[in-house]
Chains A and B, each alone.
Chain A
Amino acid sequence: MIPMQTERVAHRRGTAPHQPGRAGWRLVVFLLWAAALAPVGAHEDNFVEIRQLTANIAASPDNPRLYLRRAEMQRLLRHWHAAEADYRRAAELDPKLALVDLAFATLWNDAGQPEQALVLLDGYLSRSPAGPEGYAERARSNRMLKRWAAAAADCAEVLKHTPDPDPEVFAAWAAVLIDGGERAQALEVLNRGIARLGRVASLAMKALDLEESMALHDAALQRIGAMLAAPGRKDSLLLRKAGILLAAGRGDEARACVVLARQQFNAVPEARRLTAAGRQLAAKIDRLETQTAKTTSTQNTNHPPQ
């Protein structure tokens, strides 16, 4: 899990003073701009909590965590000025509250100003290097700035500091590498995720996409073979396999695979075939059947369809 959202980090505590720095006036401009665009939607829970926090602050006006929490609620409501005021008050009360920098950095990234975010994040990470949130936000900044290597390095740090990572951690890292033209490395990252988390469908499908795009036909066929061995429907996977075989010049096998896909599709209960996705799949089978009928195998093969 890459915790891009500030509320996820609101409870973590930093160790160094808040330094708004030269970016401050631009942030004010941004806040004014954002306030003008703020939606009017009610968010009843947040209002309730803000009322409660306001009462708590009245009772404990020197507690920075209360201001920080209220700032987060204000931010969720897009009450930018109120959020900024509470962040700043929290920082005044506890100059070691580095979290404020992370919160402001998130706002800068949201505003499409990653350079400003980087300044704050570098400071934040120098003081709070142990959590994944700062690295994730900095990876976001670096990605927006097309600093692919730096972004990938930050993604590696996110994984390093996340004891129980979600697929999102690996997917985000791979995406940065793909953007930077490092597809082989991206594939390695995805395989690393699969090795760690199990045969996760999202990572496996992304890896398959990459292998296909890199014309790694054997690797792709091996991967899809393993997926076909698992329980469940086979039709869409068989069709995908037929496409790979076709791209690999193995037309006869592709044709046989399409036949299998059609058989499997026809065996699927009506409730699942008579959907928009089912109809699209049927149309794909038709198209690939036509395509494979026109294609002759360019090479002999010892790979029977599964």
Chain B
Amino acid sequence: MTLRTFPATLAFLVIAALPSVHAQSITRGPYLQMLSPNAITVRWQTDVATDSRVQYGGAPDTLASNAGDGASVIEHDIRLTGLTPDTTYHYSVGTSATMLAGGDDTFRFKTAPLPGTIQPVRIWVLGDSGTGGDGTGRAESVRDGYYNSTFYQDPDFWMMLGDNAYTNGTEAETTRAIFQTHPMMLRKCTLWSTLGNHDTYTSRGEPYFNAFNLPENAECGGQASGTERYYSFDYANIHFICLDSEGNHADGSPQLEWAKRDLENTIQQWIIAFWHAPPYSRGSHNTDTEPGLVQQRLDFLPLLESHGVDLVLCGHSHCYERSMLLNGHYGLSSTFDPNTMALDTGDGSETGDGAYQKTEGSNNGTVYVVGGNSGKASGGSLDHPVMITSQNKLGSLIIDVNNSRLDVHEIGTDGVPLDNFTLLKGPLGPRLIPMGWYSVSDHAGTPRALPILDHTFIEPRQAGLRRVEISFFESVLVGNPATAVAVTGINAAGPVDLSSLGITVTASAIDDRVVVEFSNDSGPCALPDAAKWRFTLNPAALSGTSGAILPNGAANSRVITSLAGDTTGTGRCTGIDLNRIANSGPFNPLDADHLRADITGDGVIDATDRAAAWANRATRTDTLTQPD
């Protein structure tokens, strides 16, 4: 060996020795699969084969439990069992000798609540997001649109509606479009997926099935399907059923037989179905002219609608389309008759035509969403007659379920909602209605009242309704009882004019509630019967008596002061019209925008760590009561 060749030889020796060091590298994940109340699967991939070990516990620095597998593998797949429902765990992954990832607050998961539990649930949904990492930035802009939006909070889980990795669903494309595009979300929230056509283009979907662990034997609720191509699971009070539009779905096929049995079996309050290719679309696909889609509509929809499925989520068509509340439209779009096939032709928005109701002694009606716009927006005529809105824009969906209420927002790349609608169900009577109120300070600390965000809402018919109470998060004053609230009834014939009926509406304040009462010449009275009632609060006639958000030293921190009620412990969620928190740059409290925010236990919102500040979300709700 000469001096000239020594460095090269040394380099060779060093490189030759590298595998033992390099062997510790993670190439995918870690990521979470098959979430249930008592178990979860932790997956990760390493560049070379190693054994597997997961350590987990109640805090990042107390990972007292562990599970592992001594087999030397590249695809690591550890099922943690015996977990406590609805509980947050932290974890790390690695080998029996080395921790490869974990040990901070971002490596965590929360087990599912027991089936039937009523609590707020947040789901993030991406469709056809397989352009991630392709250099165009489309999937990334959708992701960041949600991350930076004022709607952001960690979802309880997230979903992909197929075509997760363009163009052929190869191993490399899967790594790029899923694992390299969403590393943060993958490590803390379970991802569920359905099979898209592009996902099948490589070895009949082998990379897709290698990447995902999906329930075949009812591990997460529902009925055993015996295949990962279609499956079901429960989360809180919702049953999810995933179908396979790429496989056999003919009448009598195993898939439909299983789906029928699965739907017969559930007692959950809500049912959400999802699969890849949509039953209604005039985007980049046309459900009138593509025979497979025509047939699939005939195969799937009668079964789903007969079992009262509330919401259907699909992708495939690269646009956003959202239907009215439908029941019984299975033919071509030319046969659509809104009089007989739509239960509500309104827009489903509480600030528009009113929420969709499934409360009139029937659980009929389904809303269909095409959300194949998380990686591409590629046009089409966008004029399917069942749709309330059809947009050629990139975006993602968020779904919030809270007891008898389901809200959907389509979030654009700028974080602004492109669409929203609400489904309400359950018996008539007292209903939980989100309503909020804040007084805040500006930069200088001067108190500034912010109006109530959702000052308009609609309630279904409630015969004999005599009084409505709307509660707030702090004490509230009513300036002018006669103008504080306007009440409008809506019937098929149009608005119901209370004044022409001699009925007066008055509002008064009792601590944190506005009480709305009705009277006529004879004294207190009940509202007449109407299909819906709209209560419009007038912010100018209302004011708060306490509450401020004040600077707290650090540039990106604000303290919420003088909140009524609990500002310690698990924290208190407000969710209404706080200040937009930018993802980067200075925090500007006057940059007001629609925001669902949470407050941590000590009442601090730290704009530098939104995930931590919003982790303890618990939607504050207000009750509409119907006293004697």
Contact = CB atoms under 8 A, between A and B. Distances in A.
B258 interface: yes
A44 B260 CA distance: 33
Contacts of A274: 308, 361-363
B308 A1 contact: no
B307 interface: yes
A205 B261 contact: yes
Given A1-B229, A171-B254, A272-B266, A39 B362 contact: no
Contacts of A1: 204, 227, 229, 247
Contacts of A236: 264
Contacts of B305: 276
Contact of A201 (B197, B224, B247, B269): B224
A54 B307 CA distance: 47
Given A168-B247, A205-B261, A39 B307 contact: no
Given A206-B257, A276-B364, A200 B225 contact: yes
Nearest to A198: B217
* Secondary structure class of chain A's binding surface, majority of residues: helix
B2 interface: no
Given A52-B167, A168-B253, A198-B226, A43 B261 contact: no
Interface in B507-553: none
B253 A171 contact: yes
B327 to A, nearest CB: 9
A81 interface: no
A197 to B, nearest CB: 4
Given A197-B226, A203-B226, A7 B167 contact: no
Contacts of B254: 166-168, 171, 200, 202-203, 206
A167 B258 contact: yes
A15 B286 CA distance: 39
A4 B265 CA distance: 31
A26 B246 CA distance: 29
Given A1-B247, A197-B226, A277-B307, A42 B285 contact: yes
A45 B289 contact: no
Interface string B317-334: 010000000000000000
B245 to A, nearest CB: 12
A49 interface: yes
Give the contact-size bracket for chain A.
35 or more
Interface residues of B, number: 57
A271 interface: yes
B198 to A, nearest CB: 7
B216 interface: yes
Contacts, number: 146
A42 B216 contact: no
B380 A42 contact: yes
Contact of A202 (B167, B202, B255, B364): B255
B263 interface: yes
Interface in B259-313: 260-270, 284-286, 288-291, 305-308
A7 B200 contact: yes
Nearest to A49: B167
A198 B227 CA distance: 10
Interface in A65-117: none
B307 A202 contact: no
A304 interface: no
A202 B229 contact: no
A276 B306 contact: yes
A27 interface: no
B345 to A, nearest CB: 20
A201 B284 contact: no
B603 to A, nearest CB: 38
Interface string A2-34: 111001110100000000000000000000000
Contacts of B247: 1, 168
* Secondary structure class of chain B's binding surface, majority of residues: loop
Interface string B119-153: 00000000000000000000000000000000000
B248 interface: yes
B198 A167 contact: no
A201 B223 contact: yes
Nearest to B425: A271
A207 to B, nearest CB: 11
A275 B260 CA distance: 14
A200 B426 contact: no
Contact of B265 (A11, A44, A233): A233
Contacts of A270: 363, 426-427
Contacts of B212: none
A8 B265 CA distance: 33
B626 interface: no
B269 A269 contact: yes
Contacts of B258: 167, 200-202
B25 interface: no
Contacts of A4: 248
Contacts of B270: 271
Given A233-B265, A275-B306, A8 B364 contact: no
A201 B262 contact: yes
B308 A275 contact: yes
B336 interface: no
B462 interface: no
A44 B167 CA distance: 12
Given A7-B201, A44-B318, A272-B363, A39 B257 contact: no
B225 A41 contact: no
Interface string B418-439: 0000000111000000000000
A26 B289 CA distance: 27
A202 B217 CA distance: 12
Interface in B359-403: 361-364, 378, 380
A59 interface: no
B203 interface: yes
B306 A200 contact: no
Contacts of A277: 263-264, 306-308
Nearest to A196: B226
Interface in A191-234: 193, 197-203, 205-206, 232-233
Contacts of B362: 274-275
B286 A41 contact: yes
Given A41-B290, A198-B217, A166 B285 contact: no
Which of B226, B227, B318 has most A Cβ within 10 Å? Answer: B226
A43 B293 CA distance: 12
A197 B216 contact: yes
Contact of B226 (A44, A49, A202, A276): A202
Contacts of B318: 44
A13 to B, nearest CB: 12
Contact of B426 (A2, A11, A271, A276): A271
A62 to B, nearest CB: 21
Interface string B92-111: 00000000000000000000
B204 A8 contact: yes
Given A166-B229, A275-B307, A278-B308, 12 more contacts: A1-B204, A7-B200, A8-B204, A41-B285, A41-B286, A43-B290, A45-B167, A270-B363, A270-B426, A270-B427, A272-B268, A277-B307
Interface of A: 1-4, 7-9, 11, 39-45, 48-49, 52, 166-168, 171, 193, 197-203, 205-206, 232-233, 236, 268-272, 274-278, 280
CB-CB nearest 3 A-B residue pairs: A41-B289, A200-B226, A275-B308
23 contacts: A3-B204, A4-B248, A8-B200, A8-B204, A40-B289, A41-B288, A44-B318, A45-B198, A171-B254, A198-B224, A200-B225, A201-B261, A202-B254, A205-B260, A232-B223, A233-B266, A271-B358, A275-B308, A275-B364, A276-B305, A277-B308, A278-B363, A280-B306
